[in-house]
Every structure is written in structure tokens, then in C-alpha cells.
Amino acid sequence: MSVYDRAHELARMLRESGEYQDYTRARHAISTEGTARSILVDYRKNQMQVQAARLTGKEPPAPALKELERLGGIIDMHKPISDFLRAENRLLTLLADIQKILGQPLDLWDYDDDDTAP
């Protein structure tokens, strides 16, 4: 079996996983509710604005922080959105774990270990 065949098999297994199934159910639940989708889009925009400021070493604008906090409070009280974000986080954790498992045996450049530097 080729590496590509195994990759397709892994993709199929991921689509059948509980994490992915929970994610698709939660995504569908908010996609059919315009208000939930709008709140999530606003939250993500504010989240990116705050992260972009922090990545450039700047303090995020106070209005953006306040809006992010306000939207976070709304999301905490809005079960479909909070369920979606939890399901998304579990799926992303699964994918990150798989990426780590796949990358470890390849012994690619390890930037923490000076002995393996090219």
C-alpha cells in the first residue's frame, strides 16, 4: 500500500471520527442560524485584529479588546456557538496530534537541538 493510499485511508478515518462528526453537526447547527453565524464571524474578526496587534508587538486597541470580551460573553451564553467552538477545538487538537505523530519519526530539522543543525 502506497503512502498516498494510507493518507486517503487516514482522511476517511478522520471523516468517520467522533471529533469530525461532532464538528460537522455543530457547524451545521450554527450555519442554519443567521444570528449565530453573524456573532461567530464578528468574534473571529475581532480575535484576528487582537492577535495581529500582539504579533506585531503592539497593544491591541482597547475597543477591540472590549468587543472581543463582549462577544465572548455572548458566545458563552449561546450554546450552539460554544458547542461549535469546543468541537472545532477538539478536531484541531486531533489534527495537531496527528501532525506531531507523523513528523516525529522523520527527524526533520530540530531547531532546539544544535547538534542536528545543517
Predicted TM-score of the model (pTM): 0.79
**pLDDT range class, residue 111, cuts 50, 70, 90:** low
| Nearest of 64, 67, 78, 65 to residue 34 by alpha carbon | 78
Q: What is the 3-state secondary structure (H, E, C) of 65-77?
A: HHHHHHHHHHHHH
Cβ 72 vs Cβ 104: under 8 Å:
no
Q: From CA 40, how far away is CA 20, in angstroms rounded?
A: 19
Asked if the 8-99 domain carries CATH number 1.20.1500.10, the reply is yes
Q: Which residues lie below 8 Å from residue 29, measured CB to CB, with a gap of 6+?
A: 36, 80, 83, 84
User: Cα separation of 107 and 50, whole Å?
Assistant: 35
Q: Could you read off the pLDDT of 46-97 as tens digits, one per residue?
A: 999 999 999 999 999 899 899 999 999 999 999 999 999 999 999 999 999 9
107 pLDDT band (50/70/90 cuts)? confident
Rounded mean pLDDT of the chain? 90
